[in-house]
Amino acid sequence: MANIKHLGEFGLIERFRSQLKTRSPRVIKGIGDDCAVFSSKQDTLQLISTDALVESVHFDLKTISAEQLGRKALTVNISDIAAMGGTPYLAVISLGLPQSTSTRFLDEFYSGLQSVCKDYKIELAGGDTVASPQQLFINISILGEARKDRVFTRTGARPGNQIFVTGTLADSAMGLQLLKTRKIKSVSSKHCRALIQKHLEPIPRIKESTLLAKSKLQVTSMIDLSDGLVQDLSHLCGNDKLGAELYEAKLPFSQALKNVCQQKEYDPTDWVLQGGEDYELLFTIRQEDVKKLNSLFLKADAPVSHIGEITSFPGKLVLNKINGRKKFLKASTGFNHFKRSQRS
Amino acid sequence: MANIKHLGEFGLIERFRSQLKTRSPRVIKGIGDDCAVFSSKQDTLQLISTDALVESVHFDLKTISAEQLGRKALTVNISDIAAMGGTPYLAVISLGLPQSTSTRFLDEFYSGLQSVCKDYKIELAGGDTVASPQQLFINISILGEARKDRVFTRTGARPGNQIFVTGTLADSAMGLQLLKTRKIKSVSSKHCRALIQKHLEPIPRIKESTLLAKSKLQVTSMIDLSDGLVQDLSHLCGNDKLGAELYEAKLPFSQALKNVCQQKEYDPTDWVLQGGEDYELLFTIRQEDVKKLNSLFLKADAPVSHIGEITSFPGKLVLNKINGRKKFLKASTGFNHFKRSQRS
């Protein structure tokens, strides 16, 4: 099978360019020069984020297809723009490729990237392709923009603010667990397949983020869930400056997660609290805006759950359990990227 | 010695943030949120470039110090902005770190980065730090801006345009060769040291690029030399749409290169033509602007050489040798990143 050694760097750039056809009028020079050249819109603020994914740390080529990997690599970046209320418009990608990478793999990878670019009107304007002796790695830097007064940050939550989250949680984490124990691409049960899909093909919450950005609601803080609910909530609490109470009864579980947890005798609440790679939006609003928020999301048919409240108790994250008890949660249970490869 | 396993991801981010103190008024949110937030200047075009450097492909930790690596990683990106006449202002960095990376290495690396940020007034506004099982890798994406009518691209050279290059060529390539054969950080001869320094600590040609951008000269095409003079010149010739004549007598050699070539019985012209990692600017202007260009660079005490002319002969790159003969040059002698690790 043809591999990239035969194409060479310029052959790769050509292949890349011919496959990525989205052309935005604001991009004056795309792939093929020393830089991409583009214009920014007046009266906006610019957002930039960068994310690296490394083979055998963040993904396993035995369980994710090249196309899914292309989609996911861009999706996790889009999620960062969504987390601040922005609209993504341009990305650049670096690929570190082992010599053995096949051109077929690359074509499928680009096809995945391209489909996400199309869905979210993002121009892939440039990149770098280099040799990587062992692992494949991908780095994407993404640009977005937001109205000057509508950039949502992690800092700004106040005691009494109400905590909301989009979608359902821990589906991706359970999907990963299923993939790890089975090491196969297709599994039998409908529920397992749904969870695995949530892991391999996450959907960035751009629709929900735009809904918030275009509303008049005061979003006091926002983050996208990548390291799990408890870990990421602690960022909205200024790490240990504020606290939060969560209501177990209100945490959003999918039917698929409930079903698999029941089968495996797992506690679904533990999964939802620790999760990881949810790419849902976690945000806070003022108490007086709760009704408006619910009505806004209901009208737009966008899933959102009211899961708790910010408190003034420094560093105290409390779960109010269905059985009436309280459980103290530790933020430090999050993912340490350097201890070991826990994810795949 | 402390290594990153003990710091964890958030410890690393904190360490990173506390060491990078440059704060630009246009950066509203730097390191620590989902995205960095910044404003772009009105009436400018934005430039973006991304570059990945991989251990044992692009650098060898036996021959480059952590601080030099930090400096060089950012410098090669700045060079891409310079190549289009822009001014860099913001960068984001991803680091793929083996578990064994020491905190001392990181501190020195950040110190190198920081010094370049300070020199060129660049804000390091965010990044990602991930585990990399084997090789260290670095990815930097850089943003710059340029006046709308002063963006210089690779395409635009016309037959009769005159070819110029800044600085001296092949010093870096020879420096690398010296490092590879000696595998030590310090060498005895003054000339060898100078060449090695050109390889390990290149200087981006921002001053010269700004000189061109602020002048009224019509720069018809420009590129920064990373793959060698012949290879990069072929890009200015539209790969094979135009040709070029170079004059051997006018190629810029440093005294150090001449001296080492003489000792080793190398042909310095071959080195200058093929080079690699020069990070000098290669550009074309109209014939009638040659005098103005020379006077502009002379006044600014900026080194520039008038080395040839664009011709209408498709794909023909000709060297007019000092002995009166002509030599046809092949662009395909450039560096193929996927064939083998030729550079280090």
On whether both B217 and B143 belong to a single domain, the answer is: no
Using CB atoms, which residue from B34, B135, B223 is nearest to A224?
Answer: B34
On whether both B112 and B177 belong to a single domain, the answer is: no
On whether both A169 and A263 belong to a single domain, the answer is: yes
Query: Residue B101's closest chain A neighbor by CA?
Result: A338
In our burial notation (b when 16+ CB lie closer than 10 A, e otherwise), range B221-237 reads bbbbbbbbbbbbbbbbb
On whether both B181 and B234 belong to a single domain, the answer is: yes
Torsion sign (Cα): A282, A284, A288, A289: negative
What is the SS3 assignment for A317?
strand
Number of CB pairs < 8 Å for A and B? 225
β-strand pairing of A281-285 with A162-166: antiparallel
Query: Tell me: the pLDDT tens digits for A298-343?
Result: 999 999 999 999 999 999 999 999 999 999 998 764 444 444 333 3
Under an 8 A CB cutoff, do B50 and A139 touch?
Answer: yes
Q: Looking at beta carbons, which residues of chain B come within 8 Å of A75?
A: none
- What confidence score (pLDDT) does residue B341 get? 35
Under an 8 A CB cutoff, do A338 and B7 touch?
Answer: yes
Question: For residue B333, what are its two tokens?
Answer: 């002698």
Torsion sign (Cα): A214, A217, A220, A224: negative
Under an 8 A CB cutoff, do B40 and A37 touch?
Answer: no
Q: Looking at beta carbons, which residues of chain B come within 8 Å of A92?
A: 48-50, 141
What is the SS3 assignment for A318?
strand
The last residue of one of the domains, among B147, B180, B212, is: B147
Under an 8 A CB cutoff, do B99 and A36 touch?
Answer: no
Using CB atoms, which residue from B12, B33, B50 is nearest to A94?
Answer: B50
The closest alpha carbon to B219, from B283, B173, B172, belongs to B283
B152 in a domain, yes or no? no
User: A344 vs A59, A177, B6, B135, CA distance in Å?
Assistant: 6, 8, 21, 19
Q: Would the pTM count as exceeding 0.80?
A: yes
Using CB atoms, which residue from A42, A54, A125 is nearest to B132?
Answer: A54
Query: Tell me: the pLDDT tens digits for B115-171?
Result: 999 999 999 998 899 999 999 999 999 999 999 899 999 999 999 999 999 999 999
Average pLDDT (B81-110) is: 95
Query: Tell me: the pLDDT tens digits for B184-229?
Result: 544 568 999 999 999 999 999 999 999 999 999 999 999 999 999 9
On whether both B83 and B31 belong to a single domain, the answer is: yes
User: B192 vs A124, B177, B201, B214, B279, CA distance in Å?
Assistant: 42, 10, 14, 36, 19
On whether both A166 and A135 belong to a single domain, the answer is: no
Q: What is the CATH number of the domain that holds A258?
A: 3.90.650.10
Q: Looking at beta carbons, which residues of chain A come within 8 Å of B135?
A: 132-135
Provide the number of structural domains found in chain B. Answer: 2
Please say whether the beta carbons of A84 and A284 come within 8 A. no
Query: Residue A30's closest chain B neighbor by CA?
Result: B48
On whether both B196 and B319 belong to a single domain, the answer is: yes
To test the contact with chain B by mutation, choose from A27, A45, A141, A344 the residue with the greatest count of B C-beta atoms within 10 A, namely A141
Please say whether the beta carbons of B237 and B163 come within 8 A. no
Question: For residue B334, what are its two tokens?
Answer: 């450039």
Under an 8 A CB cutoff, do A90 and B131 touch?
Answer: no
Q: What is the CATH number of the domain that holds B25?
A: 3.30.1330.10
Under an 8 A CB cutoff, do A338 and B151 touch?
Answer: no
On whether both B319 and B221 belong to a single domain, the answer is: yes
The last residue of one of the domains, among B91, B120, B147, is: B147
On whether both A28 and A120 belong to a single domain, the answer is: yes
Q: Rounded to a whole number, what is the distance in Å from the CA of B167 to chain A's nearest CA?
A: 19
B316 in a domain, yes or no? yes
Under an 8 A CB cutoff, do B52 and A83 touch?
Answer: no
The type of residue at A209 is: S
Distance separating alpha carbons of residues A132 and A52, to the nearest angstrom: 14
B340 in a domain, yes or no? no
The last residue of one of the domains, among A86, A118, A147, is: A147
Query: Tell me: the pLDDT tens digits for A13-36?
Result: 666 666 666 567 788 887 778 888
Q: State which residues form the domain around B91.
A: 4-147
What is the SS3 assignment for B229?
helix
Name beta bridge partners: A55: A59
On whether both B176 and B275 belong to a single domain, the answer is: yes
Name beta bridge partners: A57: none
Q: For chain B, how big is the Rg over CA atoms in Å?
A: 21
- What confidence score (pLDDT) does residue B256 get? 95
Q: Looking at beta carbons, which residues of chain B come within 8 Å of A151?
A: 28-29, 37
Mean pLDDT of chain B: 90
Q: What is the residue-level pLDDT of chain A in tens, covering all 344 positions?
A: 577 666 666 666 666 666 666 567 788 887 778 888 888 888 899 999 999 999 999 999 999 999 999 999 999 999 999 999 999 999 999 999 999 999 999 999 999 999 999 999 999 998 999 999 999 999 999 999 999 899 999 999 999 999 999 999 999 999 999 998 875 544 568 999 999 999 999 999 999 999 999 999 999 999 999 999 999 999 999 978 999 999 999 999 999 999 999 999 999 999 999 999 999 999 999 999 999 999 999 999 999 999 999 999 999 999 999 999 999 998 764 444 444 333 33
Question: For residue A318, what are its two tokens?
Answer: 């409390």
B338 in a domain, yes or no? no
On whether both A51 and A169 belong to a single domain, the answer is: no
On whether both A180 and A222 belong to a single domain, the answer is: yes
User: A326 vs A161, A241, A320, B300, B329, CA distance in Å?
Assistant: 20, 20, 5, 72, 77
